[in-house]
A = this chain, B = another copy of it.
Amino acid sequence: MTPVAIRKMERRKTFNDYIAKKRLKSTKQRDIIFDEFFSNYMGKHVTVEELYEDIKKRHPFIGFATVYRTLKLFMECGIASERNFGDGKARYEPIRSEREHHHHMICNECGKIYEFANNQVESCLNQIAKLNEFQLTTHKLEIYGLCSDCRAAKTA
């Protein structure tokens, strides 16, 4: 089995465990949304609308609200994260693993989203939290500016 497949199974287990713990039910819709989201949107930052439209092509019976609710579930059990890049709509991203924690650079010009990770920043934040007796659960870090492509285009 490939590493990707293994991680998908792990996420599946996390989700199933969460459902069991909370006495929720496993449904056809949740399975479909799970598959779509974790098969086609790894490393992406998808809006609910985009995901809904995409799913509807293959599964026209799935409702808008269900996609919303299911993404919330993914978040609650820690297999997806919600981001807001300032355009007014929430974006969801599959969490690959705790070790692949990363942040985003957003180009103000073309809107492209670049990812980066940096251990030094992470340890800084942990120190800061400790210093302030703050128990860190999550953090968000975003850099806004001009990506190299748009910079080139501007000077050209």
Contacts and interface: CB of A to CB of B under 8 A. Distances in A.
A147 B124 contact: no
A114 B132 contact: yes
Interface string A98-127: 000000010110000010101011001100
This chain's copy number in the assembly: 2
A42 interface: no
Given A134-B145, A141-B141, A145-B136, A118 B114 contact: no
Interface residues of A, number: 32
Contacts of A118: 124, 128
Please list the 5 inter-chain residue pairs (A to B) with the smallest Cβ-Cβ separation, ordered nearest first: A133-B148, A135-B146, A137-B145, A136-B145, A139-B143
Interface of A: 84, 86, 105, 107-108, 114, 116, 118, 120-121, 124-125, 128-129, 132-148, 151
A141 B122 CA distance: 12
